[in-house]
Amino acid sequence: MSAMPEVKSADPSIEKTVISTIVLGFAADPMTRWVWPDASEYLRVMPRFVKAFGGRAFDHGTADITEHARAAALWLPPGVEPDETAMDAAMEGALRAEIAEDVGAVMKAMAEHHPHEPHWYLPVIAADPKWIGQGLGALLMKHALRRCDEQGTAAYLESSNPRNISLYERHGFKIIGRIQSGASPALTPMLRARR
């Protein structure tokens, strides 16, 4: 029996590889593919969006990966926010006019659901589809939540895929709302209280 893969912090030198894993992992995600249904547009924009949304994790040593970056989670420590300017730049010109208003409403609701207390934020967690079902997501969650518990800090995320909600619930996250606008898929904000 092989040992469980370990979780380590991604060195900034492999940032591109880590982002590629996340882009692959979100390729069938309801929210990202609603925003970018065209495959080539998705592949063009999503790497920039991931870097803007969670890339600051690389600066803080909180871009967690499993062996060979088969799965990755970009955690932002308390007080660290996504790069909204870069997110807007990634979206500009890559957003279909008919969904722009709904995307704006979803982003606004995301900001409103963020806890006011200090918390760790998980913008993205994903596995390369080739390695899904190997327990890598659970491994990444356990690793990060141990850090939260040591610090006595809450953790927060928005699930963009209903299939992942049970994973988060198993790790102590509770649904605190529902974000949806117009024809958009639902986002599920989830909070894990500090322990």
Largest CA distance in the chain: 53
* Cβ atoms of residues 7 and 140 within 8 Å: yes
Question: Is 158:32 a contact under the CB 8 Å cutoff?
Answer: no
Q: Give the pLDDT confidence of 78-122 residue by residue, as tens digits.
A: 999 999 999 999 998 889 999 999 999 999 999 999 999 999 999
Q: What is the pLDDT of residues 114-155, one digit of tens each?
A: 999 999 999 999 999 999 999 999 999 999 999 999 999 999
Give the C-alpha separation, 151 to 94, whole Å.
39
Classify domain 8-192 by CATH number.
3.40.630.30
Tokens of 154: 């809450």
Question: Do 72 and 141 touch, CB atoms closer than 8 A?
Answer: no
Answer yes or no: is pLDDT of 72 > 90. yes
